[in-house]
Chain A
Amino acid sequence: QSLLMQPPSMSAAPGQTVILSCSGNTSNIDKNYVSWYQQLPGTAPRLLIFDNNNRPSGIPDRFSGSKSGASATLVITGLQIGDEADYYCGTWDNSLTTVVFGAGTKLTVL
């Protein structure tokens, strides 16, 4: 069982906005930076968001992240068919002294 809790699946129609959540605790998200990764079918994960709310170059501004306390969210606006993927959150855990990931949310774009 992952230390970071993510809903297993979500779905939305093209053009809509979806909010993916990642819930942790005072040992991980509350104290450290969160990053988000997108994994398209059959490919390796790709960095989407780092340090809670920053996008690497090349990531569209349709993707945004935020953090409040021990929870983080990834917001995707203007959903596209190509956004259908698994999304993972990750951060450092001070108690376990390791990087921890959520179990991932499978996003379906209907």
Chain B
Amino acid sequence: QVQLQESGPGLVKPSQTLSLLCTVSGTPMKSTLHSWSWIRQFPGKGLEFIGYIYYSGSTVYNPSLKSRAAISMDFPKQRVSLKLRSVSAADTAVYYCARLYTSSHYSNSGSFSRFEYWGRGTLVTVSS
């Protein structure tokens, strides 16, 4: 079955770069019907979309992150990575990776239909 597993440091200092990995199993990453995304959940429980990457390498990011985020893929290793630069305490959250379903049918909707599968999430705290 499809499984996603996030990993990375649980503590990052302010102004540094947060780096996370998502290991994907049970599904090929090279698919025209799926993108690979990152979502975070703040301590107050609100969800925020960070961005996604399509198998072609094209990316979409939440403009509110002001270009601090970068998502990349490693097909042979079946991994998706997230880098978030210049973090502050406001970036403290549980970070989830998720498989996003897409197709040309949703081309007028940001190529977004739904987040089908989620990892368990990893808590990242930004603190000195």
Which residues of A approach B to under 8 Å, CB–CB?
Answer: 2, 31-33, 35, 37, 43-47, 50-51, 56, 86, 88, 90-92, 94, 96-101, 103-104
B128 at the interface (CB under 8 A from A): no
Q: Could you say which of B96, B114, B117, B118 contacts A50, with CB atoms under 8 Å apart?
A: B114
Contact A99 B110 (CB under 8 A): yes
Residues of chain A within 8 A (CB-CB) of B112 are: 32, 91-92, 99
State whether B47 touches A56 (Cβ < 8 A).
no
Name the one of B60, B108, B110, B114 contacting A35, with C-beta atoms under 8 angstroms: B114
- Contacts A44-B119, A98-B63 known; list 15 others, CB within 8 Å: A2-B46, A35-B113, A35-B115, A44-B118, A45-B47, A45-B96, A50-B113, A50-B116, A90-B115, A91-B112, A94-B109, A97-B60, A99-B112, A101-B46, A103-B45
- Closest A-chain residue to B52, C-beta based? A99
Q: In the complex, are the beta carbons of B45 and A99 less than 8 A apart?
A: no
The 27 listed contacts between A and B (C-beta, < 8 Å) are: A32-B110, A33-B106, A35-B113, A35-B114, A45-B47, A45-B96, A47-B116, A50-B101, A50-B114, A51-B114, A56-B116, A88-B47, A91-B112, A92-B110, A92-B112, A94-B109, A97-B60, A97-B63, A98-B60, A98-B64, A98-B110, A99-B112, A101-B47, A101-B48, A101-B49, A103-B46, A104-B46
Shortest distance between the CB of B45 and any CB in chain A (Å): 6
- Are B49 and A100 interface neighbours, CB within 8 A? yes
Q: What chain A residues lie within 8 Å of B46 (beta carbons)?
A: 2, 101, 103-104
Residues of B within 8 A of A50 (CB): 101, 113-114, 116
Pick from A32, A43, A98: contact of B62, CB below 8 A. Answer: A98
Interchain nearest-CB distance for B11 vs A (Å): 21
Contact A37 B48 (CB under 8 A): no
The residue in chain B whose Cβ has the minimal distance to the Cβ of A44 is B118
Pair A92/B109 contact, Cβ less than 8 Å: yes
For the complex formed, measure the closest distance between the CB of B51 and the CB atoms of chain A, giving whole angstroms.
9
For window 41-69 of B, CB contacts with A under 8 Å fall at 45-49, 60-64
- Check if A45 sits within 8 Å of B106, measured CB to CB: no
A1, closest chain B residue (CB)? B46
